Amino acid sequence: MTPAEVVRYWFGDWDDRIELASDDAQIARWWSADPTIDAEIRERFSGVHARVAAGELRAWEEQPVGLLACVLVLDQFSRVLFRGHGDAFAHDTAALQLTRTALQKAWDRDLTPIQRAFLYLPLMHAEDRAAHRRALALYQGLAEEVEELGLARADYYRRVVNYEVRHKEIIDRFGRYPHRNFPLERTSTPEELDFIDRESPF
Protein backbone atom coordinates (compact mmCIF):
# COMPACT_ATOMS: atom_id res chain seq x y z
CA MET A 1 0.00 0.00 0.00
CA THR A 2 1.28 3.45 -0.92
CA PRO A 3 0.02 6.96 -0.08
CA ALA A 4 -0.96 7.41 -3.72
CA GLU A 5 -3.26 4.38 -3.52
CA VAL A 6 -5.05 5.79 -0.48
CA VAL A 7 -5.46 9.20 -2.10
CA ARG A 8 -6.52 7.73 -5.44
CA TYR A 9 -9.18 5.58 -3.77
CA TRP A 10 -10.59 8.43 -1.71
CA PHE A 11 -10.75 11.07 -4.44
CA GLY A 12 -11.33 8.86 -7.47
CA ASP A 13 -11.95 10.89 -10.62
CA TRP A 14 -13.05 14.07 -8.82
CA ASP A 15 -12.52 17.02 -11.16
CA ASP A 16 -13.37 20.56 -10.05
CA ARG A 17 -13.62 21.65 -13.70
CA ILE A 18 -16.70 19.46 -14.30
CA GLU A 19 -20.18 20.18 -12.95
CA LEU A 20 -20.98 17.98 -9.95
CA ALA A 21 -23.61 15.32 -10.69
CA SER A 22 -26.30 14.66 -8.10
CA ASP A 23 -25.27 10.99 -7.99
CA ASP A 24 -21.53 11.59 -7.79
CA ALA A 25 -19.78 8.38 -6.67
CA GLN A 26 -17.23 10.14 -4.49
CA ILE A 27 -19.88 12.08 -2.58
CA ALA A 28 -21.59 8.76 -1.88
CA ARG A 29 -18.31 7.22 -0.75
CA TRP A 30 -17.59 10.07 1.62
CA TRP A 31 -20.93 10.79 3.23
CA SER A 32 -23.49 8.02 2.64
CA ALA A 33 -22.47 5.60 5.43
CA ASP A 34 -23.29 2.85 2.92
CA PRO A 35 -22.64 -0.62 4.45
CA THR A 36 -21.20 -1.81 1.14
CA ILE A 37 -18.69 1.03 1.05
CA ASP A 38 -17.88 0.51 4.73
CA ALA A 39 -17.16 -3.17 4.01
CA GLU A 40 -14.94 -2.24 1.06
CA ILE A 41 -12.90 0.16 3.20
CA ARG A 42 -12.56 -2.42 5.97
CA GLU A 43 -11.33 -5.01 3.50
CA ARG A 44 -8.90 -2.77 1.67
CA PHE A 45 -7.62 -0.45 4.39
CA SER A 46 -7.85 -2.05 7.84
CA GLY A 47 -4.24 -3.13 7.61
CA VAL A 48 -2.87 0.24 6.60
CA HIS A 49 -5.02 1.90 9.26
CA ALA A 50 -3.43 -0.27 11.93
CA ARG A 51 0.05 0.54 10.64
CA VAL A 52 -0.52 4.30 10.45
CA ALA A 53 -2.13 4.31 13.90
CA ALA A 54 0.84 2.39 15.31
CA GLY A 55 3.29 4.91 13.86
CA GLU A 56 4.82 2.39 11.46
CA LEU A 57 4.44 4.59 8.36
CA ARG A 58 5.98 7.84 9.57
CA ALA A 59 7.94 8.08 6.33
CA TRP A 60 4.64 8.92 4.62
CA GLU A 61 4.50 12.13 6.64
CA GLU A 62 7.63 13.50 4.98
CA GLN A 63 5.86 14.83 1.89
CA PRO A 64 2.47 16.48 1.26
CA VAL A 65 0.53 13.65 -0.40
CA GLY A 66 1.85 11.10 2.08
CA LEU A 67 0.84 13.26 5.02
CA LEU A 68 -2.59 13.76 3.44
CA ALA A 69 -2.93 9.97 3.14
CA CYS A 70 -2.21 9.63 6.86
CA VAL A 71 -4.85 12.23 7.65
CA LEU A 72 -7.40 10.39 5.53
CA VAL A 73 -6.58 7.10 7.23
CA LEU A 74 -6.74 8.46 10.78
CA ASP A 75 -9.61 10.92 10.35
CA GLN A 76 -11.87 9.36 7.71
CA PHE A 77 -11.15 5.63 7.78
CA SER A 78 -11.37 5.58 11.58
CA ARG A 79 -14.94 6.84 11.32
CA VAL A 80 -15.78 4.03 8.94
CA LEU A 81 -13.93 1.20 10.66
CA PHE A 82 -15.39 2.04 14.08
CA ARG A 83 -18.69 3.58 13.07
CA GLY A 84 -20.95 4.05 16.10
CA HIS A 85 -18.15 3.38 18.61
CA GLY A 86 -15.90 5.66 20.60
CA ASP A 87 -12.85 4.36 18.73
CA ALA A 88 -14.11 6.27 15.71
CA PHE A 89 -12.64 9.38 17.34
CA ALA A 90 -9.58 7.78 18.92
CA HIS A 91 -7.16 9.11 16.32
CA ASP A 92 -8.54 12.63 15.98
CA THR A 93 -5.71 14.19 17.99
CA ALA A 94 -3.06 12.54 15.80
CA ALA A 95 -4.86 13.59 12.62
CA LEU A 96 -5.17 17.15 13.91
CA GLN A 97 -1.46 17.31 14.64
CA LEU A 98 -0.69 16.17 11.10
CA THR A 99 -2.96 18.88 9.71
CA ARG A 100 -1.23 21.50 11.81
CA THR A 101 2.16 20.24 10.63
CA ALA A 102 1.04 20.51 7.01
CA LEU A 103 -0.19 24.06 7.60
CA GLN A 104 3.06 25.07 9.30
CA LYS A 105 4.94 23.85 6.23
CA ALA A 106 2.38 25.36 3.82
CA TRP A 107 2.00 21.91 2.28
CA ASP A 108 -1.69 22.50 1.75
CA ARG A 109 -0.67 24.76 -1.13
CA ASP A 110 0.74 21.69 -2.92
CA LEU A 111 -2.63 19.95 -2.90
CA THR A 112 -5.74 20.22 -5.06
CA PRO A 113 -8.77 22.06 -3.66
CA ILE A 114 -10.64 18.89 -2.73
CA GLN A 115 -7.53 17.44 -1.11
CA ARG A 116 -7.17 20.63 0.92
CA ALA A 117 -10.80 20.36 2.02
CA PHE A 118 -10.09 16.97 3.56
CA LEU A 119 -6.71 18.00 4.96
CA TYR A 120 -8.56 20.68 6.96
CA LEU A 121 -11.27 18.30 8.24
CA PRO A 122 -9.49 17.39 11.51
CA LEU A 123 -9.90 21.05 12.47
CA MET A 124 -13.64 20.76 11.85
CA HIS A 125 -13.78 17.54 13.83
CA ALA A 126 -11.88 18.99 16.79
CA GLU A 127 -13.74 19.77 20.00
CA ASP A 128 -11.78 22.99 20.28
CA ARG A 129 -13.00 26.52 19.62
CA ALA A 130 -9.65 27.85 18.37
CA ALA A 131 -9.43 25.00 15.86
CA HIS A 132 -12.82 26.00 14.49
CA ARG A 133 -11.85 29.63 14.10
CA ARG A 134 -8.93 28.47 11.99
CA ALA A 135 -11.04 25.95 10.08
CA LEU A 136 -13.59 28.59 9.14
CA ALA A 137 -10.88 30.94 7.87
CA LEU A 138 -9.25 28.17 5.84
CA TYR A 139 -12.49 26.96 4.29
CA GLN A 140 -13.59 30.50 3.47
CA GLY A 141 -10.24 31.16 1.83
CA LEU A 142 -10.44 27.91 -0.13
CA ALA A 143 -13.97 28.68 -1.35
CA GLU A 144 -12.89 32.15 -2.47
CA GLU A 145 -9.91 30.74 -4.37
CA VAL A 146 -12.04 28.16 -6.16
CA GLU A 147 -14.57 30.88 -7.00
CA GLU A 148 -11.89 33.16 -8.41
CA LEU A 149 -10.57 30.31 -10.57
CA GLY A 150 -14.04 29.88 -12.03
CA LEU A 151 -14.11 26.16 -11.29
CA ALA A 152 -17.39 24.38 -11.96
CA ARG A 153 -17.66 22.90 -8.47
CA ALA A 154 -17.28 26.18 -6.59
CA ASP A 155 -20.70 25.69 -5.02
CA TYR A 156 -19.47 22.53 -3.29
CA TYR A 157 -16.81 24.52 -1.42
CA ARG A 158 -19.37 27.12 -0.40
CA ARG A 159 -21.42 24.25 1.05
CA VAL A 160 -18.36 23.09 2.98
CA VAL A 161 -18.04 26.58 4.49
CA ASN A 162 -21.66 26.39 5.63
CA TYR A 163 -21.00 22.96 7.07
CA GLU A 164 -18.09 24.33 9.10
CA VAL A 165 -20.21 27.25 10.28
CA ARG A 166 -22.72 24.76 11.70
CA HIS A 167 -20.01 22.69 13.37
CA LYS A 168 -18.47 25.83 14.85
CA GLU A 169 -21.84 26.87 16.28
CA ILE A 170 -22.10 23.56 18.13
CA ILE A 171 -18.58 23.80 19.56
CA ASP A 172 -19.06 27.46 20.49
CA ARG A 173 -22.23 26.47 22.32
CA PHE A 174 -21.22 23.23 24.02
CA GLY A 175 -17.43 22.96 23.74
CA ARG A 176 -17.91 19.46 22.37
CA TYR A 177 -20.14 17.44 20.04
CA PRO A 178 -23.08 16.14 22.09
CA HIS A 179 -23.77 13.29 19.66
CA ARG A 180 -20.39 11.81 20.59
CA ASN A 181 -21.33 11.56 24.25
CA PHE A 182 -22.94 8.13 24.08
CA PRO A 183 -20.18 6.33 22.10
CA LEU A 184 -17.54 8.03 24.24
CA GLU A 185 -19.46 7.18 27.45
CA ARG A 186 -19.71 10.83 28.44
CA THR A 187 -22.56 12.14 30.56
CA SER A 188 -24.80 14.54 28.65
CA THR A 189 -26.17 17.70 30.23
CA PRO A 190 -29.93 18.36 30.00
CA GLU A 191 -29.25 20.97 27.32
CA GLU A 192 -27.19 18.47 25.35
CA LEU A 193 -29.90 15.82 25.62
CA ASP A 194 -32.41 18.29 24.24
CA PHE A 195 -30.02 19.10 21.38
CA ILE A 196 -29.48 15.41 20.60
CA ASP A 197 -33.24 14.86 20.47
CA ARG A 198 -33.75 17.77 18.10
CA GLU A 199 -30.70 17.60 15.81
CA SER A 200 -29.38 14.90 13.52
CA PRO A 201 -25.75 13.89 14.09
CA PHE A 202 -23.12 14.96 11.60
Closest CA to 124 of 99, 158, 103, 88: 99
The CATH number linked to 76 is 1.25.40.10
15: domain range? 3-198
Q: How far apart are CA 179 and CA 124, in angstroms?
A: 15
Q: Give pLDDT tens digits for 54-72.
A: 999 999 999 999 999 999 9
Angle 31-74-1 (CA atoms, 0-180°, nearest 5)?
100
CB atoms within 10 A of CB 79: 19
**CB 83, CB 111: distance < 8 Å:** no
Q: Give pLDDT tens digits for 164-181.
A: 999 999 999 999 999 999
Q: How far apart are CA 186 and CA 175, in angstroms?
A: 13
Specify the DSSP class assigned to residue 74.
Answer: I
pLDDT of residue 23: 75
Number of domains in the chain: 1
Q: How far apart are CA 167 and CA 58, in angstroms?
A: 30
Amino acid at 190: P
Q: Give pLDDT tens digits for 23-36.
A: 788 898 898 888 99
Q: How confident is the model at residue 149 (pLDDT cuts 50, 70, 90)?
A: very high
Q: How far apart are CA 107 and CA 83, in angstroms?
A: 30
